[in-house]
Amino acid sequence: MGLDTAFFAATAAEAEQRYVEFGNAITRYRGDRNKVTANHRNVSRLSPAIRHRLITEFEVIDRTLTNHAFGQVEKFVQEVAWRLYWKGWLSLRPQIWRDFLDDLAELQHGWATDRIDAIVAGQTSIEVMGYFARELVETGYLHNHARMWFAGWWVHVERLPWQLGADFFYRHLLDADAASNTLSWRWVAGLQTRGKSYLPRRSNLEKYLADGILASHGGGLEQLNNPRAMIADEDELIRSREITRPFLTQSSHEPRQQSKRFGLIVHREDLKPEAGPLQHAKPDSVLVLDHRSQGEQAGDSSCKLAWITTAQTDTLKRLTNYYDTAQVSLGGFLPIDQQIRDWCSEQQIDQVSVMRPEVGPLADALTATFDELSGHVTVCWVDRPEDLEARQLATGGFFGFWKKYEKLLRQRNRAG
Ligand SMILES: Cc1cc2nc3c(=O)[nH]c(=O)nc-3n(C[C@H](O)[C@H](O)[C@H](O)COP(=O)(O)OP(=O)(O)OC[C@H]3O[C@@H](n4cnc5c(N)ncnc54)[C@H](O)[C@@H]3O)c2cc1C
C-alpha cells in the first residue's frame, strides 16, 4: 500500500502538525472528502489522534471555527461532531455494546471462519474489497467511504453477520472506537435508522474511487450492479433505541485530600489530561497505562500495537515534564488490573482520578478493577464538560443532535 503507521500522527506534536497542514486545505474538504485515493490527501487522517485524544475534538472544532467562517468549514466540523454524537448515543444505551459482545461470542464459534480468513487475506471475488481488506490490515486505516463500501458488501452481498465485520475492523483500525465502529456497522446493516441501510453500488464506486485503484483492482464490480438489502430486524431496531442509562453520575476532579496519597491514571482514551479538567491536579504519582499487554485489547493487530506504543511513550514524556513534582511511570507489561493494583500498592495510593472512558472494553476493564479495589482506593471518574454537553444532546438521530450542537457552537464562536 505504500503507507505505514508513521503516516498517522502518533504524538501530540505530530497531531498538531497534521492539523496545521490539513488546515491549509480544509476549505476543499466539503467537495473532495468522499473521493478515495491511495494517499488519502482529501481527508485529515487525524482520526487515530483524535480517537485517543492526542488532540481533542474540541480543540479541532474551536481552532477550525476561529480560523474560518462557519459556512466554509461546516462539513468538516459536522464530521468531527459525528464522533461525539456516536459516543453520546452509545453512552445512553450501553446495552447495545453488551449485546454486541454476547452476539460476537456466539458467532465466533466457527461461523464462516474459512470465508472470513480468505477475506482478511484479501481473497475476494470483487477485487477491490480484497484491496480494502489488505489496506486495513497493512496500514490500520480505511477512508470513510471505503469503510462504507466494504461493510455494505460484507452485510448485503456476502451476507455475513455485521458483528464479525465490526470485530475485524475493531482489531485492525488505529482509530478503533466502540461507538463509531459498532454503530456505523449497525447503520450499514439497517439497525440504526428505520428503512435505511447502506448498499454499495458499482456506479458510486466508479464515481468516487481513484482511477489508479480501479484500473488495477476493478474485477468483479458487476456484482454490485444491483445489490439487494438484507432485511433488518425491526424489533431489534425499536428495542435498541431505548435509553437505559439517561444520567451518568457526574463527577469533576476532586482536590486531593491531605491525608491521602493521590494518583492520576492516564489511559488510551484520553492521552492529554494536561489539557482539560486535570490540568491543575497535583498528583503524588501518575500511572500511564501500558496498552500493549492485550488484556482488554486482545486480538489487536501488530500495526495497532506499534501505534499505541509510540503514543503512550510520547504521553509518558509529556507528562513527566508537565506533572514535574509527581512520580510519572508507565505500567508494566501486565493486564490493566494488575498494573493498577501494583502501582497503588507500590506508591501507597488511596485516592485516584481518571478520565472517564466511554462505553467499550476499557471502561469494562477499569470499572471491574475499581470495583475490586473499593474499600482501599477512592476513585473519581472525571468528565470533560464538553463531553457532558454533547452527550445529553444525543438522544435521537444525528440531524436533531446537529441542530442543537451547531447552535451551541455558533453561540460560543460569537461570544469568543
Ligand atoms: C463501518 C464503519 C466503521 C467505522 N469505524 C470507526 C472507528 O472504529 N473509529 C473511528 O474513529 N471512526 C470510525 N468510522 C468513521 C470514519 O470512517 C472515520 O472516523 C474516518 O474515516 C476517519 O478518517 P479521517 O480522520 O481521515 O476523517 P476526516 O474525514 O478527515 O474527518 C475528520 C474527523 O471527523 C471524525 N469523523 C469523520 N467521519 C466520521 C464518522 N463517520 N463517524 C465518526 N467520526 C467521524 C473523525 O474524528 C475524523 O478524524 C467508521 C465508519 C464506518 C462506515
Residues framing ligand 1 (Cβ under 6 A): 33, 43-47, 50-51, 79-80, 82-83, 86, 143-144, 147-148, 151, 169, 173, 175-177, 180-181, 184-185, 188
To which H or E segment does residue 319 belong? helix 302-322
Q: Which atom of ligand 1 is nearest to the CA of 198?
A: 53
Per the structure block, which three cell numbers stand in for 235?
A: 424489533
> Which residue's C-alpha comes closest to atom 21 of ligand 1?
144
What φ, ψ does residue 342 adopt, rounded to 5°?
-60, -45
Instruction: Identify whether the C-beta of residue 307 lies closer than 8 Å to the C-beta of residue 280.
Output: no
Residue 224's alpha-carbon distances to 203, 381, 382, in angstroms, are 8, 47, 47
**CATH code of the domain in which 341 resides:** 3.40.50.620
Q: How many CA atoms lie within 13 A of 74 on its CB side?
A: 9
> Which residue's C-alpha comes closest to atom 12 of ligand 1?
180
Distance 141 CA to ligand 1 centre (A): 10
> Which residue's C-alpha comes closest to atom 37 of ligand 1?
79
Distance 180 CA to ligand 1 centre (A): 7
pLDDT computed for residue 25 by the predictor = 85
Q: Are residues 216 and 112 in the same domain?
A: yes
Per the structure block, which three cell numbers stand in for 337?
A: 488490573
Q: Would residue 115 count as lying in a domain?
A: yes
Q: Are residues 343 and 268 in the same domain?
A: yes
Amino acid identity of 23?
G
Pocket test for ligand 1, best of 8, 34, 47 (most atoms within 8 A of CB): 47
Q: Would residue 67 count as lying in a domain?
A: no
Contacts of 237 (CB under 8 A, 6+ apart): 190, 191, 192, 194
Q: Would residue 178 count as lying in a domain?
A: yes
pLDDT computed for residue 5 by the predictor = 46
**CATH code of the domain in which 231 resides:** 1.10.579.10
Long-range CB contacts (within 8 A, 24+) of 55-59: 55/9, 55/12, 55/15, 55/16, 55/19, 55/272, 56/272, 56/275, 56/276, 56/384, 56/386, 57/81, 57/83, 57/84, 57/386, 58/384, 58/386, 59/275
Q: Are residues 268 and 373 in the same domain?
A: yes
DSSP 209: B
Q: Are residues 200 and 274 in the same domain?
A: no
pLDDT computed for residue 241 by the predictor = 78
> Which residue's C-alpha comes closest to atom 3 of ligand 1?
181
Length of the chain: 416
Distance 47 CA to ligand 1 centre (A): 6
Q: Are residues 100 and 232 in the same domain?
A: yes
Instruction: Identify whether the C-beta of residue 382 lies closer than 8 Å to the C-beta of residue 355.
Output: yes
> Which residue's C-alpha comes closest to atom 33 of ligand 1?
80
Q: Are residues 229 and 332 in the same domain?
A: no
Q: Tell me the C-alpha distance between 213 and 16, whole Å.
A: 30
Distance 372 CA to ligand 1 centre (A): 35
Q: Are residues 219 and 272 in the same domain?
A: no
Tell whether the torsion through CA atoms of 217, 222, 225 and 230 is positive or negative: negative
DSSP 222: G
Q: Would residue 336 count as lying in a domain?
A: yes
Pocket test for ligand 1, best of 45, 167, 175 (most atoms within 8 A of CB): 175
Angle value at C-alpha 377, between 248 and 270, nearest 5 degrees: 50
pLDDT computed for residue 113 by the predictor = 87
Q: Would residue 164 count as lying in a domain?
A: yes
Q: Are residues 200 and 99 in the same domain?
A: yes
Q: Which atom of ligand 1 is nearest to the CA of 151?
A: 1
Per the structure block, which three cell numbers stand in for 99?
A: 449485546
Residue ending a domain, among 183, 206, 240, is 240
Q: Would residue 22 count as lying in a domain?
A: no
Distance 186 CA to ligand 1 centre (A): 15
Domain residues for the domain of 374 are 262-382
Contacts of 2 (CB under 8 A, 6+ apart): 38, 39
> Which residue's C-alpha comes closest to atom 43 of ligand 1?
83
Distance 183 CA to ligand 1 centre (A): 12
> Which residue's C-alpha comes closest to atom 40 of ligand 1?
82
Residue ending a domain, among 210, 240, 270, is 240
pLDDT computed for residue 253 by the predictor = 62
Q: Are residues 277 and 373 in the same domain?
A: yes
Q: Which atom of ligand 1 is nearest to the CA of 33?
A: 29
Q: Would residue 253 count as lying in a domain?
A: no
The whole model's pTM is what?
Answer: 0.96
Q: Which atom of ligand 1 is nearest to the CA of 178?
A: 8
> Which residue's C-alpha comes closest to atom 22 of ligand 1?
47
Distance of CA 288 to the CA centre of its chain: 19
Q: Are residues 100 and 217 in the same domain?
A: yes
Q: Are residues 194 and 273 in the same domain?
A: no
Q: Would residue 38 count as lying in a domain?
A: no
Pocket test for ligand 1, best of 75, 78, 83, 132 (most atoms within 8 A of CB): 83
Domain total for the chain? 2
- List, run by run, the mean pLDDT of 10-residue segments along the chain (416 residues): 69 96 91 95 96 98 95 96 97 95 89 90 97 97 98 97 96 97 97 91 98 96 94 78 77 69 97 96 96 76 94 98 97 94 96 96 95 93 94 94 96 77
Residue ending a domain, among 240, 272, 290, is 240
pLDDT computed for residue 416 by the predictor = 64
Q: Are residues 236 and 266 in the same domain?
A: no
